């Protein structure tokens, strides 16, 4: 759980960015995102995501009352052959990641999470779906962002992940993406 001492440690810069998430040594806690994704009809794959610096600042800001919570988050796929960077923001995500926008849904699908339980919240039961409107598309990753418009550059980019395997899509094929955020104790 996100304690006052964890907030203070993050505000003081006493944390480490790892491939698995944000590790706070003094609190022996890990803040991480988990992404489940797959083309409809195929097995799901799972990977950790990188919580961006803007995402970390948002989490600390909300926890300490410095910023207002974002009411609805959205899942945004990308097609760029890139490595996710902690410096990505909502303002540079579309250009840095090459946001994939050739899907039938009018906007980025909303993240629809379940209840908070055991220090986690996820949308694995209600994944965001993207129906390709073109043949030969390649989706290589996804992000969680606070703006609904395709290619919108406002709001906050919480985190992003590069999929373990590229997802080729043809017209009518559907990619499902679920996102979870968890804080766990590390021994």
Q: What are the extents of the domains in the chain?
A: 33-178
3-state SS class at 185? strand
Distances (CA, A) of 45 to 42, 48, 141: 9, 11, 12
Q: What is the mean pLDDT of residues 45-51?
A: 91
Q: Are 161 and 144 in contact (CB under 8 A)?
A: no
- Asked whether residue 184 carries a pLDDT value surpassing 90, the answer given is no
In the numeric block, the tokens 């992404």 are attached to 35
Q: Model confidence at 90, in pLDDT bands (50, 70, 90)?
A: very high
Average pLDDT of every residue of the chain: 91
Q: What are the tens digits of pLDDT across the range 119-170?
A: 889 999 999 999 999 999 999 999 999 999 999 999 999 999 999 999 999 9
Element (H, E) at 6: helix 4-11
How far apart CA 15 and CA 60 sit, in angstroms, is: 12
pLDDT tens digit sequence for 53-63 = 899 889 888 88
pLDDT on residue 134: 98
Judged by average pLDDT, the poorest of 22-36, 111-125, 150-164 is: 22-36
When pLDDT is cut at 50, 70 and 90, the band that residue 3 belongs to is low
């Amino acid at each position: 759980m996100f304690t006052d001492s964890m907030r203070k440690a993050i505000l003081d810069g006493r944390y480490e960015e790892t491939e698995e998430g944000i590790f706070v040594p003094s609190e022996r806690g890990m803040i991480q995102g988990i992404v489940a994704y797959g083309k409809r009809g195929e097995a799901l794959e799972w990977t950790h995501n990188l919580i961006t610096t803007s995402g970390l600042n948002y989490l600390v800001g909300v926890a300490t009352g410095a910023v207002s919570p974002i009411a609805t988050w959205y899942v945004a796929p990308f097609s760029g052959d890139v490595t996710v960077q902690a410096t990505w923001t909502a303002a540079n995500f579309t250009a840095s990641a090459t946001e994939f926008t050739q899907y039938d849904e009018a906007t980025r699908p909303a993240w629809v999470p379940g209840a908070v339980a055991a220090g986690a919240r996820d949308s694995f039961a209600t994944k965001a779906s993207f129906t390709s409107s073109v043949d030969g598309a390649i989706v290589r990753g996804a992000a969680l962002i606070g703006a609904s418009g395709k290619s919108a550059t406002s709001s906050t980019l919480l985190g992003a992940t590069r999929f373990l395997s590229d997802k080729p899509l043809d017209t009518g094929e559907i990619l499902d993406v679920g996102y979870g955020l968890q804080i766990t104790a590390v021994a």
